């Protein structure tokens, strides 16, 4: 029974992904804990701390099918944590070797190491999506590098840009996110093993050797000391997901605005019934973008909870740490769902270049006012040129004529520019500045991501 729609068999496809749910599913988490217990037994068997055969037997028994779910649930309700019941079930399944299970470990060692394994798998999924989205946006940037459209500031026409540049701007932060992800993984994917109070006293002189061996066995990094109450790594993972979703939300917000009926320049990929209304047959709502924004708000709302959990008291926290499972799995699931929506948009967006061109001309050339001013400035000086063009803009607006016609009526302008020069200065395709260079720079930077490296 799902309470959160991100975990629902009906609504889950809107808010998350099956792949990420499989990583953070309850049974998957229990299996990860069993994996940690098995790895611990193997390492201790090799080091001679427990019999080697016991390590083999515990490993063979460490399967979710060997746990009694009802018994485990009853234990969790009583104890408050799943590890006591899990160890009991594992020990029983391992037979005589079961008495060597969980040797020298504490509950949080198992929980945190299992969480580190989940985060490792989750971050891999996020990275793959980022690379796929980057590749799709790079292809769109290349395809539309010469598709001229209105650039907008404060939602008003500003200067001409190209849709290829807009795609490059969407792409740029994704490259930074991949860099961030690669940099944070060594701080996040760490084994946890500290024993009851972070000293591993029960293992005598073998504590560090077991810690090191367990990290290698699980494919996790080795911390300098246990991180029972050092939660910056898991908080950083959540914060990172908040940043990633913020970049997805930027794309979604732009697309929603560009797909408005009055604008109609870009729309989401269309499939029969997609984004339809129960009462208005004509509607094609930007449904993927809407769920990207919903997921982003949820993830970013959960980030403070994860950061607040960093204030763990003494050697074992009395509440903040226990709040993490309420937030972190949902951050991963929602972020991956947003990533999949973003990938679908990036790959299949419908671009109406003709509508872009029509909208570009909607103001009768006023979008080119700066271009004309800069063209006149060497002859008249910037301030005089600004005044002359501003007056021409006012005339164009008040009389409902194009900027080029209004400029031709300005004596200060017509004395310096003939009509051909005015037409050239008011051609949007001639005033794109470093657009092509910026697209090229972004595409060059994105090349390794497009190869998935």
Query: Catalytic positions, please?
Result: 277, 316
The secondary element (H helix, E strand) that includes residue 157 is strand 156-162
The percent helix, strand, coil of the chain (3-state, each to 5) is: 70, 5, 25
Q: Which residues of 289-302 are buried (b: 16+ CB within 10 A; e: fewer)?
A: bbbbbbbbebbbeb
Q: Which residues of 389-408 are buried (b: 16+ CB within 10 A; e: fewer)?
A: bebbbebbeeeebbbbbbbb
DSSP class per residue in 41-61: HHHHHHTTSS-HHHHHHHHHH
Count of CB atoms situated within 10 Å of the CB of 307: 17
Q: Which of 424, 392, 421, 425 is nearest to 407 (CA)?
A: 392
Measured distance CA(121)–CA(100) in Å, rounded: 29
Measured distance CA(61)–CA(92) in Å, rounded: 9
Measured distance CA(179)–CA(84) in Å, rounded: 39
How many residues would you count in the chain?
A: 453
Show Cβ contacts of residue 217 under 8 Å, excluding neighbours closer than 6 positions: 39, 42, 43
Q: How far is CA 81 from CA 67, 238, 318, in A?
A: 15, 23, 13
Q: How far is CA 450 from CA 130, 174, 269, 395, in A?
A: 10, 12, 22, 50
The structure tokens listed for 420 are 């051909």
The structure tokens listed for 222 are 């080795």
Helix, strand or coil, per DSSP, at residue 158: strand
């Amino acid at each position: 029974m799902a309470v959160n729609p991100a975990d629902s068999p009906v609504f889950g496809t809107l808010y998350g992904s099956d792949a990420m749910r499989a990583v953070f599913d309850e049974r998957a988490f229990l299996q990860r804990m069993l994996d940690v217990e098995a790895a611990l037994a193997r390492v201790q068997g090799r080091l001679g701390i427990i019999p080697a055969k016991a390590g083999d037997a515990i490993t063979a028994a460490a399967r979710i099918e060997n746990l009694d779910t009802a018994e485990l649930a009853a234990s969790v309700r009583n104890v408050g944590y799943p590890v006591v019941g899990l160890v009991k079930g594992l020990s029983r399944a391992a037979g005589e070797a079961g008495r060597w299970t969980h040797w020298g470990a504490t509950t949080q060692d198992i929980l945190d190491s299992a969480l580190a394994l989940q985060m490792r798998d989750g971050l891999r999924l996020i990275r793959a999506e980022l690379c796929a989205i980057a590749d799709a946006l790079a292809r769109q940037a290349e395809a539309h590098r010469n598709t001229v459209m209105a650039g907008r500031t404060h939602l008003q026409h500003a200067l001409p840009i190209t849709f290829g540049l807009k795609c490059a701007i969407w792409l740029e932060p994704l490259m930074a996110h991949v860099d961030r992800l690669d940099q944070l993984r060594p701080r996040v994917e760490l084994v946890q093993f500290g024993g009851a109070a972070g000293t591993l006293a029960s293992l005598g002189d073998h504590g560090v050797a077991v810690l090191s061996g367990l990290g290698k066995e699980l494919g996790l990094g080795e911390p300098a000391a246990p991180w029972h109450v050092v939660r910056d790594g898991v908080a950083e993972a959540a914060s990172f997901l908040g940043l990633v979703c913020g970049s997805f939300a930027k794309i979604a917000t732009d697309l929603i605005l560009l797909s408005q009926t009055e604008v109609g320049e870009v729309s989401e990929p269309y499939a029969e019934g997609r984004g339809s209304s129960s009462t208005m047959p004509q509607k094609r709502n930007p449904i993927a973008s809407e769920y990207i924004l919903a997921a982003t708000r949820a993830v970013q709302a959960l980030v403070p909870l994860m950061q607040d959990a960093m204030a763990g008291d003494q050697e074992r926290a009395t509440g903040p740490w226990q709040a993490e499972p309420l937030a972190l799995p949902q951050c991963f699931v929602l972020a991956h769902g947003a990533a999949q929506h973003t990938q679908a948009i990036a790959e299949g967006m419908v671009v109406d270049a003709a509508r872009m061109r029509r909208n570009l001309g909607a103001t009768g050339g006023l979008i080119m006012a700066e271009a004309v001013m800069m063209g006149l400035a060497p002859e008249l000086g910037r301030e005089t040129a600004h005044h002359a063009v501003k007056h021409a803009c006012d005339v164009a607006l008040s009389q409902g004529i194009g900027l080029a016609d209004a400029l031709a009526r300005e004596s200060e302008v017509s004395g310096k520019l003939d009509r051909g020069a005015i037409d050239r200065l008011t051609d949007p395709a001639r005033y794109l500045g470093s657009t092509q260079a910026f697209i090229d720079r972004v595409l060059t930077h994105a090349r390794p991501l497009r190869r998935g490296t």
